[in-house]
Amino acid sequence: MTTPLPWSTDKILIAPSVLSADFTNLERDITAVERAGADLIHIDVMDGHFVPNITIGQPVVRAIRRVSACPLDVHLMIEDADRYVDDFVDAGADMLSVHVEVTPHLQRTIAHIKSLGVRAGAVLNPSTSVSSLLEIASDLDFVLIMSVNPGFSGQVFIRQSLDKVRRVRDVLTQAGSSALIEIDGGIDTTNARAAVDAGATILVAGKAIFGAPDAESAIQAIRATTNATAQQ
């Protein structure tokens, strides 16, 4: 594992998504959110097949690893994840998540990711049933719930995702799992608190942070809403 992970169900983790960052000033943007207290750096890898967009590959992850002190949370939105797991771990991923919709042997894939010394997660698209986790829940380090349809940043948060977070929490609890729940898509100060109240412990935010005039103030504002939740 490249970087120690702040892994606790008692701490809300904020993961700025570099999909919304300025790629001509990527080191600057990452440094800014780290200075503001980001817990993770979220990296979306898209292949243009599973999702209708193409983003970045291992070379960019490796470059981010060189300039970032934060753990790297790499989300594989690709059809053939098994083929690239080792490459992304070698590039510096500390967390690696794969989609249940395109991973035919999910238990084997999760076991392989964990064998490489990184945290392993399963991802659910908005229309994917929580029941797909029933046979794998006890093997997971985290579950990533998409609160938008994956592919592009800046989409509107799907409110039904909050109920999905609650149902995933129930599945994990029944399985005796301490896996964390991550939520990604449209997260900002208007819904971060609701996501945490529903059971999410990792909040991925892209446009709300990197699209703000001041990324540092934006991440601090999201943190303030989650702190208010914890105090109640």
pLDDT for position 232: 40
Q: Which of the residues 29, 44, 73, 94 is marked catalytic?
A: 44
Q: Which of the residues 39, 73, 94, 184 is marked catalytic?
A: 184
226 vs 200, more confident: 200
223 vs 10, more confident: 223
CATH code for the part of the protein at 13-231? 3.20.20.70
Q: Is the pLDDT of residue 18 over 90?
A: yes
Helices (H) and strands (E) in the chain, counts: 8, 8
- Residues 56-85: what's their mean pLDDT? 96
Cα 114 to Cα 58, 92, 118, 126, 149, distances in angstroms: 19, 14, 5, 25, 27
Rounded CA-CA distance 68/62 in Å is 10
pLDDT for position 10: 73
Residue 90 annotated among the catalytic residues of the structure: no
CA–CA–CA angle 201, 228, 30 (5° rounding): 55
Residue 82 annotated among the catalytic residues of the structure: no
What would the pLDDT profile of 145-185 be if each residue is shown by its tens digit? 999 998 677 678 999 999 999 999 999 999 999 999 999 99
**pTM score of the predicted model:** 0.93
Q: Is the pLDDT of residue 5 over 90?
A: no
Rounded CA-CA distance 172/141 in Å is 10
- Residues 71-92: what's their mean pLDDT? 97
pLDDT for position 231: 42
